[in-house]
Amino acid sequence: MARSALLNVMVQSALKAGKSLSRDFGEVQNLQVSLKGPGDYVTQADRRSEKIVKEELLRARPTYGFLGEESEEIKGTDGAHRWIVDPLDGTTNFLHGIPMFAVSIGLERNGEMVAGVIYNPATDDLFTAEKGGGAFVNDRRLRVSARKKLSDSVIGCGVPHLGRGMHGRFLVQLRHVMGEVAGIRRFGAASLDLAYVAAGRLDGFWEEGLSAWDVAAGLILIREAGGFVSDLSGSADIFGSGTVAAGNEHIHKALIDVANRPVPKA
Q: Which residues are annotated as a binding site for Mg(2+)?
A: 69, 86, 88-89, 214
Which among 240, 5, 22, 210 is positioned nearest to 121, based on CA atoms?
22
Q: How far is the CB of 221 from Ca ion (least distance, A)?
A: 15
- Considering only the stretches 71-79, 109-117, 182-190, 231-239, report the one whose residues sit in contact with ligand IPD under the rule CB under 6 A: 182-190
**From Ca ion, ligand IPD, none, which one binds at residue 50 (CB under 5 to 8 Å depending on kind)?**
none
Q: How far is the CB of 135 from ligand IPD (least distance, A)?
A: 19
Q: Which of 24, 56, 69, 203 binds Ca ion (CB under 5 A)?
A: 69
Residues 76 to 135 in contact with ligand IPD, rule: CB under 6 A? 86, 89-92
The residue among 192 and 258 lying less far from Ca ion, judged by its C-beta, is: 192
Fill in the per-residue mask, 217 to 236: x = in contact with ligand IPD (CB under 6 A), - = not in contact.
Answer: --------------------
Q: Residues annotated in the binding site, as ranges?
A: 69, 86, 88-89, 214
Which among 124, 111, 123 is positioned nearest to 220, based on CA atoms?
111
From the centroid of its chain, how far is CA 119? Answer: 11
Between the CA of residue 236 and those of 164, 233, 242, what are the distances in Å?
24, 9, 11
Q: Please give the span between the terminal C-alpha atoms of the chain, in angstroms, as a whole number.
A: 55
56 binds Ca ion (CB under 5 A): no
Which among 190, 254, 216, 231 is positioned nearest to 81, based on CA atoms?
216
Which among 49, 56, 90 is positioned nearest to 70, based on CA atoms?
49
**In angstroms, rounded to a whole number, what is the distance separating the alpha carbons of residues 264 and 49?**
44
Fill in the per-residue mask, 82 to 121: x = in contact with Ca ion (CB under 5 A), - = not in contact.
Answer: ----x-xx--------------------------------
Q: Report yes or no: 64 and 84 within 8 Å, Cβ to Cβ.
A: no
Which among 251, 230, 253 is positioned nearest to 241, based on CA atoms?
230
**In angstroms, rounded to a whole number, what is the distance separating the alpha carbons of residues 232 and 219?**
14
Residues 200 to 219 in contact with Ca ion, rule: CB under 5 A? 214
Q: Which of 7, 105, 150, 189 binds ligand IPD (CB under 6 A)?
A: 189
Applying CB under 6 A, the site for ligand IPD has a residue count of 13
Which residues contribute to the site for Ca ion (CB under 5 A)?
A: 69, 86, 88-89, 214
Give contact residues for ligand IPD (rule: CB under 6 A). 86, 89-92, 158, 188-190, 207, 209-210, 214
